[in-house]
Amino acid sequence: MNQIKKRAAQVLKEKLDSLCPDHALGINDIAGMFEYPPDPKLGDLAFPCFKLAKVMRIAPPKIAASIADGLSVDGISKIDVVGGYLNMFTDKLYVAAATVNTILEKKETYGANGEGIGKTVVLDYSSPNVAKPFHIGHLGTTIIGHSLKKLHEFCGYNCIGINHLGDWGTQFGKLIVAFRKWGSRDEIEEGGIDALVALYVKFHKEAETDGALNDEARAAFTALEHHDEECTALWKWFIDISLREYEKTYKQLGITFDSYNGESFYTDKMPAVVEEMRQKNLMVIDDGASIVDLSDYNMPPCLILKRDGSTLYPTRDIAAALYRKNTYHFDKCIYVTSAGQSLHFAQWFKVLELMGYEWAKDQLIHVPYGTVSIDGEKLSTRSGNVVLLRDLFAQAIEKVAAIMEEKNPDLPGKDAIAESVGVGAIIFYYLSANRIRDINFIMEDALSFEGNTGPYAQYTYARTCSILSKASASGIGPIDAPVNTDGISLCDEENDLIKTLALFPDKVTQALHECEPSVITRYILDVCADFNRFYHNIQILSCDDEALRTFRVKLTASANYVLASAFDLICVGKNEKI
């Protein structure tokens, strides 16, 4: 469809040049104006003329009629004028050949727009607080962030994935005190991050009746800030134990990072940032604290230093952004965190801009997402009300393994497939909804294997693999050779699938620009629905017409390539057999 849009845009520009030389629209501008009619009866593409009314000083319907007069575009069989729109109907066989041949030629790169070639994007995501386990609340930043990295890589960007660990703050003073009072090295080594959480929870429970514990924790963190040898050794040990646990989850999700520089990395970089703000007269003293007044921008003040001179999150984030800009020379830096932090990011983005860094306006991007609750209850490590990701994944894997044992007990590699499908089910469920929506996580829904779910989508992909394997064994091929649609009559099921496959480049661009992985997840379901109708309603390998049989196999191969790429973009594994 992109090819037809570009061709139509070229023809439309030539027509507009003759009708109104001052229209000032380029080919890419015109191509970007195309819309998809909500009803297929209205056409396959629609070009709105309303934007031209101001410069041409003519009503949109008359503009549309003038443009349509004598207009001819390869691949377009009919053009109707409806109000201020040019409704275009594509030549179905032309689109079929163009779409399938393009997919078979580009294979895994079909859909990539190349807009990021020569550009660098830094993505800050996952970033768990050390000494706390992964729970469902961490799934958003981790999966959305990595999907955005995949999307940017797919479109040519050089991507730097940063896990900005929460490895600094008074919580480490609490852990140090708790370990000294109630912990042992052997118990922590054996129990890992769970043992650290137990100490953290115990500290808060004891602190409810013993207020002195909080004073001890603040003193321990102050000692850590001043590089006390014992406190520093314990702190590094806590981080090491935590990373061992996190890596297990990252391995299941197929995630790696380029940097694990957390909050502590920037402690020695903040004084220079604070001094720069002083030199630029941005900070004022308010009740003993140092702030940047943002009232002119309808925001509360941004706190830079506490009364005691210690730094806060904005100070660290500003220092981190400057370090990353100087180190990676990014074209954009994306932060994937909960929507509850939106004001925080808006504030320090503005402070950087006021410091004179113009790139902060356009290159710093906060991608918010909604909260997760369990049966309506807010998650809290402190109170122990969490559902750990490892437990959730284990349940999903166990359920898939039981189904496979019942239906296909002799399937090779069952354990690996069960893990891929089970973990994929959780990811797919989470990424099915718009990221900004709050999610009340209901276990039964997440692990359901009926309806529009990850296992259903993965099974559809496996079905395409099975068809292609049988086709190859039957001597049908070569699969990737160009198709010839001459003399072929296509049915509705084929045309619907082709039309959906042709949309993949548009969906990739939309997901990239909106930072919205759910665009791809929903698109996968569209492909699956169209392919399964195609599979159930018409003959593929058993078709008597050789030319039509070959085309249908190649159409199956096209769906296979698109599903494989789309799965990768949302971090879901694909299996040739389920």
Q: Among 23, 41, 78, 132, which one carries the catalytic annotation?
A: 132
Nearest CA-CA partner of 259 in 134, 366, 352, 149: 149
Integer angstrom CA distances of residue 499 from 306, 454, 502, 555: 59, 23, 5, 11
- Among 224, 230, 242, residue whose Cα is nearest residue 165: 242
Answer yes or no: 280 catalytic.
no
Q: What is the pLDDT of residue 164?
A: 96
CATH numbers and ranges of domains, the chain: 2-90 (3.30.1360.70), 120-267+310-378 (3.40.50.620)
Task: Report which residue type is found at 394.
Answer: A
- The structure tokens 């239906």 sit at 407
Q: Which amino acid is at 520?
A: I
User: What is the per-residue pLDDT for 375?
Assistant: 64
- Based on the residue annotation, tell me whether 536 is a catalytic residue of this protein: no
How far apart CA 481 and CA 494 sit, in angstroms, is 19
Nearest alpha carbon to residue 64 among 46, 86, 45, 43: 86
pTM metric for this prediction: 0.91
Q: Is 329 a catalytic residue?
A: no
Map residue 289 onto helix, strand or coil: strand
Question: Which are the contacts of 164, defined by CB distance < 8 A and separation ≥ 6?
Answer: 124, 127, 261, 262, 263, 320
Q: Which of 5, 13, 135, 150 is catalytic?
A: 135
Contacts with 412 (C-beta within 8 Å, 6 or more apart), sequence order: 577
Distance separating the N- and C-terminal Cα atoms of the chain: 32
CA nearest to 113, candidates 524, 392, 506: 506
Task: Report the distance separating Cα 113 and Cα 110, nearest Å.
Answer: 9
Burial of 406 (0-12, 13-18, 19+ CB in 10 A): exposed
For residue 150, the model assigns a pLDDT of 98
Residue tagged active-site, from 13, 138, 350, 366: 138
Contact present, 350 and 294 (Cβ < 8 Å) = yes
pLDDT reported for residue 10: 92
Q: Which residues, 6 or more positions from 182, have their beta carbon under 8 angstroms from its beta carbon?
A: 199, 202
pLDDT at 571: 95
In Å, what is the CA distance from 548 to each residue of 348, 529, 561?
Answer: 60, 21, 20
Tell me phi and psi for residue 295, to 5 degrees.
-65, -30
What is the helix (H) or strand (E) element at residue 309, kind and residue range? none
Question: What is d(CA 138, CA 140) in angstroms, rounded to the nearest whole number?
Answer: 6
Task: Supply the Cα-derived Rg of the chain in whole angstroms.
Answer: 28
Provide block-wise average pLDDT over 10 residues at a time, the chain (578 residues): 84 89 86 88 91 88 91 90 92 91 95 96 95 87 97 98 93 95 94 92 92 92 92 96 94 94 93 95 92 96 87 92 98 96 97 97 97 67 66 88 84 89 92 90 71 91 95 83 84 95 96 98 97 96 92 96 98 87
